[in-house]
Structure 1
Amino acid sequence: MAGRPRKHSTQDKSHKTKAEKELRKEEEQFAGAENFKHLGTKPPKSLMDVTARNEYKRVVPLLINLDITALDQTLVVNYCNSYSLYLQAIKAVKKEGLVINGRKNPAYNIYLDMQKELRATAGQLGMTLDSRMKLVKPENHEEEKDPYAQVGEIQ
C-alpha cells in the first residue's frame, strides 16, 4: 500500500464521520495483540550467537507490552543479530583502530551499517520514544473549561 503510514485513531486529527471513527476503532482492535499469537520468549535458532540470544531474552519481555506479536519475530531476530554484529564491529575497531595500513578499517563500515539497521528496526518495533508515542494509546482526559470563556457571555 502506497502513501503515508496510518496514524492511530487517537492521533488522527482529520475530520471523519462517527461511522468512520467507529470503523477505524474496530480495525485497530482487530489488529491488536490479543488477536495474534504472542511472541515466544525462547530465542529462535536463527539467532547468530550468544550475544544475539541474550539480547532477544532482554528485549522480548519488554516488547510484549507494545503489542509485538509472533508476526514480528523476524524483525526482532533481525534487531538482535544486528546488535550482535554492531558489538563485534566495535570490538574490532577498538582492537585494530580506525585505520589499517593507511586505509579505513572495514569494521568501521560494518559498525555504521549496523547502527543504521538498529535505528530502523528499533523504530519499527516501538523501541524508540517517537515510535512508542505513535503506538501507545493516550487516555482520554476531559478538557478543562476555560475560566475566561464566560467573560464574553456575561454581557
Structure 2
Amino acid sequence: MNKNEPRPIPSFPDCPPELGPAAQREWTRLVRELSSLNMVTSLDRAALATYCGAYALWAEATEAIQKFGAMVKSPTGYPMQSPYISIANRQAEIMMRIASEFGFTPASRSRIAVPEEHRLPLFDQPNPGE
C-alpha cells in the first residue's frame, strides 16, 4: 500500500447531464455503492461517466443482438456478423478496463488493501475525545 498516496476527500459526484437514461441509472447505482465504501471522489467523475456511457452502449447493442440475432443478412443477401457484436465487444473492453481501476471485478478487488482501523497511521487515528 502506498503510504504517500494522495487521499482526496470522498464525495458524491454529480451525474454529468450528457449521460442518457440507461447511463444515468448505472451512474446512480455505482456512485451509491462506491460512496458507501468511501471509494469515490469528484476526481472520479469523468472515468465513471466513461464507464456508464460504455455500459449504456453495451446494453443497447446487447438488446439489439437479442432482437435481431448475432447473424444478419448483408445488403447483398449473404449472412454476416451483426455490427452490434463489435459495438458490444468494444464497449465491454472499455467497461472492463475502467472496472479494474475502480475495483469492480473480483480480481481487482483482491489487489486493494484497506488498512485495519487499529493499524492506520497515527495521524489518521480517530481522536477518542471527539
Tell me the residue number matched to 2:62: 90
The answer to which of 64-73 and 87-96 deviates more is: 64-73
Q: What residue number does 1:122 align with?
A: 99
Shift of 1:127: 1.2
Rg larger for: 1
The two structures have a TM-score, normalised by structure 2, of: 0.76
CA distance in 1: counterparts of 2:117 and 2:29, whole angstroms: 32
CA shift digits 1:24-44 (9 cap, x unpaired): x2x13xx1233xx6232x422
**TM value normalised by structure 1:** 0.65
1:76/1:54 Cα in 2 relative to 1: closer, same or farther (>3 Å)?
same
In the alignment of these two chains, the number of paired residues is 112
Tell me how far apart the structure 1 counterparts of residues 38 and 102 of structure 2 sit (CA, whole Å).
8
Q: Are residues 1:60 and 2:24 paired?
A: no
Paired position in structure 2 for 1:80: 52
Identity of aligned residues (%): 27
Q: Does the CA-based 8 Å contact 1:66-1:136 persist in structure 2?
A: no
SS in 1 for 2:111: helix
Deviation at 1:66, TM superposition (A): 4.7
Letter in 2 for 1:111: A
Question: Which residue number corresponds to residue 105 of structure 1?
Answer: 82
Q: CA deviation at 1:140?
A: 8.7
State the SS of the aligned residue for 1:72: helix
Cα separation, 2, equivalents of 1:33 and 1:136: 17
**Letter of the structure 2 residue corresponding to residue 59 of structure 1:** L
Which 5+ residue runs of structure 1 have no aligned equivalent? 1-7, 10-24, 142-155
C-alpha spacing 1:97/1:110, structure 2 compared with 1 (3 Å): same
Deviation at 1:109, TM superposition (A): 0.7
Superposed CA RMSD in Å reads: 2.0
After TM superposition, the runs of 4+ consecutive aligned structure 1 residues lying more than 4 A away are none
Alignment of 1:138-149 (within 5 A): 138-139=115-116
Amino acid at match of 1:71: L
